[in-house]
Each structure stands twice: as C-alpha cells, then as structure tokens.
Amino acid sequence: MKPLATVIALLFSTVPLLAAGDGVHLKADSIFEIAGFPITNSMVTSWIVSLFIVVLIKLLAGKPQLVPSKGQILVESVVSGLRGMLEPIVGKKVFFPSFWLLSGLFIFIIVQNWSGLMPGVGTIGYGSMVDDHFSISKPLIRPGNADINMTLALALVANLFWVYFIVKYAGLKAIIKDWFGNKADKKEVHFLMFSALSLIFIAVGFIEVLSIVFRPVSLTFRLFGNVFGGESLLHSMFYLVPQINWILPVPFYFMEVLIGLVQALVFTLLVAVYIGLICNHEEGDNH
C-alpha cells in the first residue's frame, strides 16, 4: 500500500499532478465529514469562489457614490451589460425580480468555470511519490462545475425560481393558455378546423410539459459535460507529449477561458428564455 501524504505541491503551478492516465476523477473526492455529511473538494472550491465574489464586489463597489470610483464603474458596467442582454428576453415586468437570480447565475458560473485554470487547483492534496515526483491522487481543490452535483443544484434552483416567476407574474391561466391554448384566430378559421387545431395544440402542450420536465437534465449535463471535458482535455495535454508539456496546453487554456464564458452565457440565457417565453409573452403581443 502506498503511503498517504498531505502536501502542498507546486502551489503556483497549474499542472494537475494526477498520475498519468488517471485523468480527472469523475466523482468529487470527499475531504472530511461533518456529522456524517461528506464535504467534497468541489464544495470547498465553491465556497471559496462564493467568498471571492462577495469580497471582490465589495472591494470594487464599496459604498456607492455619486461620482463613481473605477471599481464602481466596472461593477456598474457589468450590471448594465447584463441588463441590456437580459431585459429584452424576460420582459420589463419580471426583469427586476429575476435579475438577481440571472446575474448571480452568470457571475457564479463564469468564476466557477475559470477557477479550474487558477494556480493550486488540482495541485494541492493527498498523494504519493511516483517516478521521482509527487503525484496527487485526491486533490483538495476541484472546479465546482466539474462536479455533476453542483450543476444539478444550479439547474434545480434555476427551475424552482422559474416556476415561482411564471406563477407570480404570468399566472396559471396564462401558463395553461401558453402550453395548451389554440394559437389560431377563432374568427379567421372554420369551426371544424379550429376544433382540430385545438386537439393538436393540446397534444403539443403535453410534449411541451415533457420538455420542461427534462430542462434540469439538459442544463445539468450541458454545463457539467463542457467543464469536465475541458478539465480532462487540459490534463491530457500535459501527458500527450511530455517533451513540450510546458507549451502544448497553452492554446487550450485560452480555449477554456472562452468556453467558460460561453457556457455561463448559455446557462443564463436559457433560464432567461424559459422565463420570458411565458412572462414576456403578453408584452410581445401588445407591441
């Protein structure tokens, strides 16, 4: 049995020192337990990221001033950009109630996605000596979104508040009409045709409900698959050609920065679209 050692290995390196061929673990590793509840390395990373976001925004914005500081301008620019992108989608009526959710999702997800590129992630943990170097077998820090439990939690929270927003700001009548209602104009369509279309739209409504049930699944696996795949790809690049492992992964780091941004946008925009499809429907009909 190989001895277990605790080590801070290459703190300022981003090289994931898992044993060659092991790849990134599919399951997050439990570090310790609290009252029998396992605390995983992805949970630790998520807590660190959350604290980092809170402290960073507090330091940048501080107490809002009439003449904004550079940090406040930066925060306001991000908020303004998100508002310009999200408000036309969800509609003015529900924008302010939903903005805290959508902006929080975007900022949290993008920082989580990029956390895997930070020094120390995957290089601090438990391991043993392998071929004259210390190989990490259980990292203490792991990107939160590379854990399917985290992406599932994000998807469930997003869909839970989606239900809240559509019920409160659209109402059950508008929801049923949107899902099962006949979209044809009764005055312009023959009665028999209108009746046939009603049956078709009811059937389509049940298909829509089925697709809604699977939304958390698609949101979960889309985000998890891209982040976990990116982490695995980066790991592979370090061992693909050992002679140039100091330069080969660099292009993939830039690619992961882009993918991290895109996936945060996709997740946030999809949740916004889900809200806007019902809550912004009536507003669209009025224009």
Nearest Cα to Cα of residue 146 among 209, 48, 228, 221: 228
The region of weakest confidence among 15-29, 49-63, 117-131, 258-272 is 15-29
pLDDT of residue 287: 42
The region of weakest confidence among 48-57, 185-194, 247-256, 269-278 is 185-194
pLDDT of residue 19: 38
Under the banding of pLDDT at 50, 70 and 90, the label for residue 52 is very high
DSSP 182-251: --S-TTTS-HHHHHHHHHHHHHHHHHHHHHHHTHHHHHHHHHHHHHHHHHHHHHHHHHHSGGGTTTTTHH
9 in Cβ contact with 134 (< 8 Å): yes
pLDDT of residue 187: 64
The average pLDDT across 156-170 equals 94
List Cα–Cα distances, 30 to 65, 80, 166, 254, in angstroms.
44, 40, 38, 30
Q: Which helix (H) or strand (E) holds 121?
A: none
Question: Where are the domains positioned within the chain?
Answer: 5-286
Under the banding of pLDDT at 50, 70 and 90, the label for residue 131 is low
pLDDT of residue 9: 36
- % residues pLDDT > 90 (the chain): 37
pLDDT of residue 7: 37
Residue 265 predicted with pLDDT over 90: yes
Under the banding of pLDDT at 50, 70 and 90, the label for residue 21 is very low
Nearest Cα to Cα of residue 234 among 206, 218, 255, 220: 255
pLDDT of residue 148: 92
The average pLDDT across 272-285 equals 77
Which SS3 state, helix, strand or coil, does residue 155 take? Answer: helix
pLDDT of residue 11: 36
**The whole model's pTM is what?**
0.81
The region of weakest confidence among 34-48, 154-168, 211-225 is 34-48
The region of weakest confidence among 122-131, 214-223, 259-268 is 122-131
Residue 113 predicted with pLDDT over 80: yes
Q: Between 132 and 17, where is the model more confident?
A: 132
169 in Cβ contact with 97 (< 8 Å): yes
The average pLDDT across 132-137 equals 65
Mean pLDDT, the chain, rounded, equals 81
